[in-house]
Amino acid sequence: MRLGQAAYGELNKGHALLAASPSATISGSIVNQMDLRGSVPPGVQWQPYFSGFLFGDHYVLARTASDHTAVRPGMVRSKALFVSLDNLKKVHSIAGAFRFLEDHFDDPAPLEDVKIDIDNGLGTAHRGLATAMVKDFQSTIVWPFETGFEEAITNLWRNLWPEARQSFSFRLAFSPQDIPDRPTVVKTLAGLKSRWVGYPLVKEEGDSDDAAVATLMGLPEGNEIKALMTALNARLSSFSQLPQVAEISRALTIDEDFADLISATRLICFLSPSPTDGANEKIQLLERTSAAFQGADTGAIRMSRNLDLSAIADAEIFWRSLRNWAHERLPNEPSEDAATVLLDTDREGPSSQWKSSITAGLQDYFQSDRFDIRFVLGVVFYQPSTLRVFLKLAGARPKFDKRFASGLLASSSETPDYKLLALTATEGLNLSHAACCALLFEPGQAVMEHIKGFAATSDSIKIALTKSSDQEIISIAVREGIPALIEIAASKAAMRQSLLKSLDVNDGNWRKIWLQVLREDIKAYQAPRKPEVALRGLLDLLVAGTIDEAGRDLLEKLSKTALANIVDYKHRAQVWLAIPAEMRQAYLDATADAWISQFLIDGLAPLEQPLKERVLAPTRVEKALQNFSTNIALGCAYFRMFGELPESEFRKWLWYSIKNIHLATEDAAAIGRLVAARDWERTARDLADWCLEGRNDIIPAVDISRDQIGYLRRYRLDLMGSLAPGVKWRILEEIGVELYPIGPGDRSLWERAGGKNGDIPRATSGSEGWRIVVQEMEQGRRKIDPASLIKVMAEDFPGNHTLRKMRYDRFFH
């Protein structure tokens, strides 16, 4: 390769360009670089040295030596070769350049471009230098040995890639003050090593196991790295990247942990950004990385959160493995670690693919049979702000709310804090907010904290009451009066009706609770400690006009129970005026039945008209009379109380009641008093007839009601008493009309009794005829003998008890 050259030295007492070949176009620009850098320490002797550095679009290789012919001490002579950047990658060896610079150092002007061998010359590998280049690339490396520098640099150059050659520089330096330009490697004198404190000094030996070191030494152990660099088309811009290639190589061949594999994946994408370069190696590394996911912890996973895999044609296997990890492993990680990952998915920084893969994996977990709310609880307890992330993952918010609330209540090891309480409210998690309240506050306060400024529901209030006893729930509902609380309290009371023992019907909330319980079970009317007192309280409110809707509904429900009997209520009459029509009938019926039942025992005071009407309902009267059949005196009192009951009803009841029994004297007397008081003549006749038929137990009744009995029956029963004699003539007249309705001549009675047919009075009717005949007898104008007439009549009707008695009555003789 033909290269330009230039010579530098003393000119006019200064350092200057002395000569240059045609292609050495930049030779005049590097005069300063061709002078000795720094000051030579007193008494120090230095040998000619080689240097190399990039300047503009050329790489300069030079040799510098002391000029003993100069007009002043300390001046130097230098000779340089210039390699364009386009040709630099072709320069595999600088041994030829070094030989030319040494052999032709003193060539006189003019100078021509020269042909340099750029292929031959291996130099001598130095492990210490190679190790320093790999390990200490961030600082200028110091060569402290007297010899071997050129050989070591020659070998190093041969193993450098083009980009590394461009950034590589070397020369002589006496102290750190001499290297403001920070060359890659400087050679110093052995006696000056102490000046280089803090700088890496090349050691005789180096790392024997480092592939990057082997690469810089040209050893076979570095061939894999070289091949990988070629496959990846990696253009390393600095020595620092060579260990990175070595790291990638290890990851491709050795079982590395997940963190190392992620690091290698990141490096391969950075060093080889084109998807078409190193495609096989990239897929191989990605497969190894993906296979290591299941052993990765959250720290290693988070290393991949900003991983850019655009350099890999198809990276789906990686993101799929990350999704599987989030599904299977993340729920088992410590809560604090899982929380960090969760928050990463909700912040700027991590790549969208990383966040979407984690999110998808957790969504898979939420929908799987493996889902355990304890995972969510642990993370949220550690970091409440993750709740928002979980809500995004959960999908169906109501379902998550229910799960989370259940988990909170079931947790025995953790208690939510106020931050979580606020978050559940902000996010509208009704049930979860209620669960937090239940765990953070006392029962009564828990409900109110939940309801305060929150759209509470019946279900959420139940959860807020989780830690409350049934009795506490009742007390809270009565105190607060919130409809949902009333409903819950009522459901508790429906299951445990003993909770209604302390019911105060004067409290509107208590009324609502009792009403709801009754709607579920009407038997709950018995639940209060004193149900009758509770009803009376409702009636007091009704009568006072202060009853509310719940109270009225309660009265309606209770109208279907045994409590509808208000026979003992002191303001009963006012109730019938105030009570709604739709329930009045039920209370009237129940009270009427109760009134009758009590009447059977001890009788009652007179009734108000509405109740009286129900008591006298036909079916109820019939039933009452059936009950009174065994208590004649009470039955009579019943008829005496209700003048509306007709005599026919009494006659029917009386016959039914006494036909098969022997009346006690007091019962018979009661019958007589009633008949006499009501002036029931037909009943009196019935009584008289029964006496005549032999029912002597009825005599007390007949005796008391004699005024209602006809004279005929009284005569037969010897109940005439002190009546006037004319009464007997009326009896004769009556029986005559009864037995001989045509008149005294009927069936020749008059003639057979010794009378003359001509004496039979002319009359328009049989009864008139009898009246005339008997009246004449009474006045003493007898056209026929009364005794004879009665005798014939008795013979015609031998079974007639009255005629038999009259036949022997001295009154008629």
Which tens digit of pLDDT belongs to each residue from 737-758? 999 999 999 999 999 999 998 8
Q: What's the structural domain count of the chain?
A: 3
Q: How far apart are the C-alpha atoms of 796 and 43, rounded to whole Å?
A: 195
The answer to whether 125 and 153 have CB atoms below 8 angstroms apart is: no
Give the pLDDT confidence score for residue 206 in this predicted structure. Answer: 76
pLDDT of residue 720: 58
Residue 797's pLDDT band (boundaries 50, 70, 90)? very high
Q: Please give, one letter per residue, the 3-state secondary structure of 635-652.
A: HHHHHHHCCCCCHHHHHH
Q: Does pLDDT of 721 surpass 60?
A: no
672 found inside a domain: yes
Q: Within this chain, do residues 677 and 731 fall inside the same structural domain, yes or no? A: no
Distance CA 451, CA 551 (A): 27
At residue 513, what is the residue type? I
pLDDT of residue 152 exceeding 70: yes
pLDDT higher than 60, residue 538: yes
Q: What is the pLDDT of residues 6-15, one digit of tens each?
A: 999 999 989 9
601 vs 14: which has the higher pLDDT: 14
Residue 453, pLDDT score? 67
Contact 768, 741 (CB under 8 A): no
Residues 19 and 55 in one domain: yes
- For 530, the enclosing helix (H) or strand (E) is none
Q: In the Cβ-directed half-sphere of 336, how many Cα atoms lie within 13 Å?
A: 0
Q: What is the C-alpha to C-alpha distance for residues 737 and 769, in angstroms, rounded to an integer?
A: 9
Distance of CA 82 to CAs 56, 88, 150, 642, Å?
11, 10, 18, 145
Rounded average pLDDT over 669-691: 92
Question: What is the reported pLDDT for 604?
Answer: 58
Place of tokens 């960090």: 340
Single residue among 667, 683, 716 that ends a domain in this structure: 716
Torsion of CA 348, 350, 355, 357, to 10 degrees: 170
d(CA 747, CA 739): 11
Neighbours of 191 (CB within 10 A): 12
Residue 599's pLDDT band, with cuts at 50, 70 and 90, is confident
Tell me the average pLDDT of the chain.
91
Of 239, 311, 315, the residue nearest 275 (C-alpha): 311
> Region 97-114: what's the mean pLDDT?
94
611 and 694 co-located in one domain: yes
Give this prediction's pTM.
0.63
Residue 47 is assigned to a structural domain of this protein = yes
Q: Given this model, what pLDDT does residue 354 score?
A: 95
Using CA of residue 416, residue 419, residue 422, residue 427, what is the dihedral sign? negative
User: Predicted confidence band at 605 (pLDDT cuts at 50, 70, 90)?
Assistant: low
| 705, pLDDT greater than 90 | no
Q: What span, in angstroms and rounded, lies between the C-alpha atoms of 229 and 267?
A: 12
Using alpha carbons, list the distances in angstroms from residue 582 to 537, 545, 553, 609, 626.
20, 17, 11, 18, 30
Does residue 779 share a domain with residue 668?
no
- Residue 563 domain-assigned (yes or no): no
Residues 588 and 645 reside in one and the same domain = yes
Domain membership of residue 251 (yes or no) is no
The identity of residue 236, as a single letter, is: L
Residue 40 reports pLDDT greater than 70 = yes
In 3D, which of 422, 441, 442, 445 has the Cα closest to residue 432?
422
Closest C-alpha to 16, from 61, 70, 56, 52: 70
- Would you say residue 722 has pLDDT above 90? no
Q: Residue 141 domain-assigned?
A: no
Residue 723 has pLDDT above 60, yes or no: no
DSSP 8-class letter at 384: T
Report in angstroms the alpha-carbon separations of 586 from 288, 489, 532, 549, 617.
87, 29, 16, 19, 14
Of 97, 121, 145, the residue at which a domain comes to its end is 121
Which domain range does residue 634 map to?
581-716
Q: Is 386's pLDDT higher than 80? A: yes
Average pLDDT over residues 310-324: 95
Q: What is the pLDDT of residue 575?
A: 95
Assess whether pLDDT exceeds 60 at residue 782. yes
- Look at residue 196 in the predicted model and tell me its pLDDT: 95
E strand spans, 153-265: 170-172, 185-187
Instruction: Tell me which DSSP letter residue 664 carries.
Output: P
Same domain, 757 and 693: no
Look-up of token digits 């004319």? 726
pLDDT-derived band of residue 601, with 50, 70 and 90 as boundaries?
A: low
Q: What is the CA radius of gyration of the chain?
A: 67
Predicted confidence (pLDDT) at residue 585 exceeds the cutoff of 90: yes
Asked if 710 and 738 sit in the same domain, the reply is no
> Are both 602 and 691 inside the same structural domain?
yes
Paired sense of beta strands 49-55 and 58-66, if any:
antiparallel
pLDDT over threshold 70, residue 719: no
Distance CA 358, CA 321 (A): 10
- Residues 6 and 716: their CA atoms lie apart, in Å, by 182
742 and 650 inside one domain: no
pLDDT band for position 618 (cuts 50, 70, 90): very high
Return the pLDDT at 792.
95
Q: Give me the CATH number covering residue 41.
A: 3.30.450
Q: Which of 122, 98, 120, 121 is nearest to 3 (CA)?
A: 98
Establish if 221 belongs to a structural domain: no
Residue 747 lies in a domain: yes
Nearby residues of 544 by Cβ (< 8 Å), 6 or more positions away: none
**Closest listed residue to residue 489, CA positions, set 473, 502, 500, 503:** 473
Q: Is the pLDDT of residue 761 over 80?
A: yes
In terms of Cα–Cα distance, which of 295, 284, 285 is closest to 258?
Answer: 295
Kindly give the pairing relationship between strand 76-84 and strand 141-143. unpaired
The percent of residues above 70 in pLDDT, for the chain, comes to: 98
In a shared domain, residues 658 and 739:
no
Give the position of tokens 């084109």. 274
Q: Per DSSP, which regions of 131-208 are E strands? A: 141-143, 170-172, 185-187
Residue 242, domain member (yes or no): no
For residues 169 and 183, give the distance between their C-alpha atoms in angstroms, rounded to a whole number.
5
Task: Quote the longest CA-to-CA distance of the chain.
Answer: 217
The pLDDT score that the predictor gives to residue 350 is 94
Of 121, 144, 175, which one is at a domain's C-terminal end? 121
Same domain, 603 and 679: yes
H/E element, 81: strand 76-84
Q: Report in angstroms the alpha-carbon separations of 210 from 142, 230, 231, 570, 700.
A: 20, 19, 21, 111, 142
Does 587 share its domain with 668?
Answer: yes
Query: Could you tell me how many residues make up the chain?
Result: 813
SS3 of residue 675 by DSSP: helix
For residue 319, the model assigns a pLDDT of 96
The beta strands (E) that lie in 135-182 are given as 141-143, 170-172
What DSSP state is assigned to residue 201?
A: B
Q: What is the DSSP code string of 39-65? A: -PPTT-----EEEEEEETTEEEEEEEE
Q: What is the pLDDT of residue 602?
A: 61
Nearest to 22 by CA among 88, 117, 102, 109: 109
